[in-house]
Chains A and B, each alone.
Chain A
Amino acid sequence: MKLDIILCGVGGQGILSIATIIGDAAMAQGLYIKQAEVHGMSQRGGDVHSDLRISSTPIASDLISKGKADVIISLEPMEALRYLPMLASKGWIITAAAPFVNIPNYPEMSEIDSQLAHLPQVIRIDVTAIAKEHQMPRCANIILLGAAQDALGMNYAQLETSIRNVFGRKGEKVVAMNLKALALGREYAMQHKAAK
């Protein structure tokens, strides 16, 4: 198997914790991984992305080629569109719906929504609202991961185990909350899929 994932968002949104969990799950299954990250200046509120590559055979390039990304997971809708040239013909975009506006020329939301709506395989999920509703403001990224689980084709129980591995240090309460966040995201994606 081969899975090329682009994780993106705005510096400080926490894309790397999603990468850590997916990475842990892939490691547990004995797969090869390469994960290119952005450190430094862009982390100050600029656009950031991480190329996460998983494969059952050794991986050569740390970077994903154009047109090869199987899934784009974005914590911000405009950022999801930024990596469109990277997306494979049958690739998925799983994106948070709420914009992060820290620039004066942020486009009209209707334009972004309409462009996303014209793409074949997109899940837009308002992770911020769901996180707020369930009083888990810091779990928006794990809700997004839950929504991406099916598109990633990753074993759900394995992702749960990896959440335990990654958040275990922070106590059972944090683990439980993130497991619930994962479930909420998955549930949303399943309903979305059924509705289509």
Chain B
Amino acid sequence: MSQSKEKNKTLVLGNEAAALGAIHAGISAVYAYPGTPSTEVTEYIQGHPLAQSRQVKSTWCTNEKTAMEAALGMSYVGKRALVVMKHVGLNVAADAFVNSAMTGANGGLVVMVCDDPSMHSSQNEQDSRFYSKFAMVPTVEPSSQQEAYDIVRHAFELSEKVGLPVLLRMTTRLAHSRAAITTSEILEENEFHFPETPQQWILLPAISRKRYKKLVEIQFELGIESRKSLFNQYINGKDKSMGVIACGIAYNYLMETYPDGCPYPVYKIAQYPLDRTVLATLTSEVAKVLVLEDGQPFVEEQLVGIMDTPIPVLGRLTGTLPRTGELTPDNVRAAFGFETEQYFDEADHVASRPPALCTGCGHFDMYSDLNEVLTDYPDAKVFSDIGCYTLGALPPLRAIDSCVDMGASITMARGAADGGLHPSVAVIGDSTFTHSGMTGLLDAINVNADMTVIISDNLTTAMTGGQPSAGTNKFEAICQGLGLDPAHLHVVVPLPKNREEIKRIMKQEIDYHGISVIIPRRDCIQQLVRVKK
């Protein structure tokens, strides 16, 4: 597998290790929508000389669903494709993802999803392993940067071997931690070739029923693949009073707790579905088992089920580890009954320092104007969305009433307006609008909903570091194309000097009992600095 091992001279993030692994595994495309903690994977491929010389397709997609489907098309013609997203992005891509298990993969198809336990930059803690189990496809979950590099290649090989997409799950701490890695031989891209069973890709009920049986049957084989996988390891231990199951990055915290080796038998898991044989061996040898897994109690719940287990299973459900939040070396240590060696108490005079909109940000001017206008309308509600402008929730602005999922601003404002709310205002960013706002706007226009939409356009995907925004220079055309009356479409420049004009337009459109769109447009100031550099 690795004839020409080469030590990489630079430190790479877990995300970059996976990206390099994918380039060296011969991908022909990466399809992605930016989202923390996944963004660096695609950026690394975009900037890599080999990917550039091979013309690996790497332009950002409009959302995760378009990315997943493009990758499926690339797989259809026999090439290897990587799809990258954050965990909640998989909700958007779910229709395509779950059905890609039904069509199967031709060229290797790896869906890399970065979960964010502890919600460092996300609205929930969902664990993507539930998705792959639900879709009935294999999952790989590396524990280190080196494993991230190696496991991507394995995932592509597995995908082609079993003819299914493979989910690669990473969590924030590995995605955003650096280490040096050793690289393997660089593979060529796949030749263009069509699927051997083309009928399988037409998911008509009669075909789907046959295919679904096949998918169920193949699960046994997937379990054997997990057992044979070099990334899963059963490490025997002398002390049988307990056994440990350590998934992905949890293995590192276990090793941190026992630097000279764990005294208990350990099953290190980096590939799913769970292999019953090894689990049966482990549970027959030990008096109880502790499950260490980052995210939700995925393995623990499967072990426990709803009936009594022959031996106690400890983990997040039993309170041995915290039910929520990410694993840390400290909470894993505590799960083994060791005290933490803390020498200094929390300092008395430390205030929390939440993130904030940058000084000079156009979103800030937009919200200041909106806040002033809405003082005349005490019943007004502002439905906002996912992006930098979500920070408008914090003082001093306190300008928004909701933030749920990509695109929910427009659709929720429409529903609330239907229910009798006035003024019903939606605030959405430019990239979020093209990601998932356009369809909702079409709904609202079709019923001429009594609401005002603000598309706060900073000409970039700012929160994730300034990736190109799919709709730049197209927003007026998009709104009018969806049927918006041009008399109720306004573009303004959110600067203090334009404050009176903007307030006048906002008030005028709030007082108009129909759908209107205001587009405050000014460059993201972070992006201006980046471009200057």
**Do the two chains bind?**
yes
Interface residue B532 (Cβ < 8 Å from any Cβ of A) = no
A34 to B256, CA, bound (A): 13
Report yes or no: B355 in contact with A85, Cβ–Cβ below 8 A.
Answer: no
CB distance from A11 to the nearest CB of B (A): 7
Q: Which of B329, B349, B395 contacts A61 (CB 8 A)?
A: B329
Residues in A with CB closer than 8 Å to B177 are: 34-37, 51, 62
* Chain B residues in 8 Å Cβ range of A10: 353
Is B216 interfacial (CB 8 A cutoff)?
A: no
| A 22-60 binary contact with B (CB < 8 Å = 1; else 0) | 010001000011111111111111110001000000011
B463 in contact with A40 (CB, 8 Å): yes
Select the stretch in A100-108, A137-145, A178-186 that faces chain B. Answer: A100-108
A26 and chain B: residue at smallest CB distance: B11
Tell me the bound Cα distance from A142 to B19 in angstroms. Answer: 31
Cβ–Cβ < 8 Å partners of B349 in chain A: 78, 81, 107-108, 111-112, 115
B residues less than 8 Å from A68 (CB atoms): 341
* Distance to closest chain B CB from A147 (angstroms): 21
Binary contact track A122-156/B, C-beta < 8 Å → 1, others 0: 00000000000000000000000000000000000
**Cross-chain contact A41 with B344 (CB below 8 angstroms):** no
Q: Which of B126-134, B247-255, B271-279 has 4 or more CB atoms under 8 Å from chain A? A: B247-255
The answer to the question of A65 belonging to the interface, with a C-beta cut-off of 8 Å to chain B, is: yes
Give the residue of B39, B346, B355, B464 whose beta carbon is less than 8 angstroms from that of A46. Answer: B355
A4 to chain B, nearest CB (A): 11
Q: Are the CB atoms of A34 and B355 closer together than 8 Å?
A: no
Q: Are the C-beta atoms of A84 and B329 separated by less than 8 Å?
A: no
List, in ascending order, chain A residues with CB within 8 A of B358's CB.
44-45
Cross-chain contact A34 with B357 (CB below 8 angstroms)? no
**Of all chain B residues, which has the CB nearest A31?**
B180
How far is it, in angstroms, between the C-alpha of A63 and the C-alpha of B463 when the chains are bound? 25
Across the interface, do A63 and B329 meet the contact criterion of CB distance under 8 Å? yes
Q: A105's closest neighbor in chain B, by CB? A: B351
B391 to chain A, nearest CB (A): 7
Min CB–CB distance B177 → chain A (angstroms): 4
Q: Is A168 among interface residues, defined by CB-CB distance under 8 A?
A: no
| A192 interface hit (Cβ, 8 Å) | no
Q: Are A39 and B348 in contact (CB under 8 A)?
A: no
Measured CB to CB, the nearest residue on chain B to A52 is B178
Check: A7 CB closer than 8 A to any chain B CB: no
Contact A78 B350 (CB under 8 A): yes
Of the candidates B345, B354, B388, the one whose C-beta lies within 8 Å of that of A85 is B345
List of B residues within 8 angstroms of A111 by Cβ: 348-349
Whether A193 is near chain B, meaning CB under 8 Å from some CB there, is no
Q: Which chain A residues border B388 with CB–CB below 8 Å?
A: 44
- Chain A residues near B341: list those with CB within 8 A: 65-68
Any A CB within 8 A of the CB of B9? yes
Q: Do the beta carbons of B355 and A82 come within 8 Å of each other?
A: no
Whose C-beta in chain B lies nearest to the C-beta of A36? B177
- Interface-central residue, B254, B347, B463, B464, by most chain A CB under 10 Å: B347
- CB pair B120 A36 closer than 8 Å: no
Q: Which residues of A in the span 74-125 have a Cβ within 8 Å of any Cβ on B?
A: 78-79, 81-82, 84-85, 87-89, 91, 102-108, 111-112, 115, 119
Chain A residues within an 8 Å CB radius of B350: 78, 81-82, 107
Chain B residues numbered 306-362 whose CB sits less than 8 Å from any CB in chain A: 328-330, 333, 340-358
Q: Quick check: is B163 within 8 A (CB to CB) of the other chain?
A: no
CB-defined contacts of A61 to chain B, threshold 8 Å: 252-253, 255-256, 329
Shortest A100–chain B CB gap in Å is 9
Report 5 cross-chain contacts, Cβ distance below 8 Å, ordered by A residue: A46-B354, A46-B355, A61-B253, A67-B343, A115-B347
Interface residues in chain A, defined as those with a beta carbon under 8 Å from any beta carbon in chain B: 10-11, 23, 27, 32-47, 51, 59-68, 78-79, 81-82, 84-85, 87-89, 91, 102-108, 111-112, 115, 119
Binding site for A on B (CB under 8 A): 9, 11, 13, 36-37, 39-40, 120-121, 173-174, 176-180, 249, 252-256, 259, 328-330, 333, 340-358, 388, 391, 395-396, 463-465
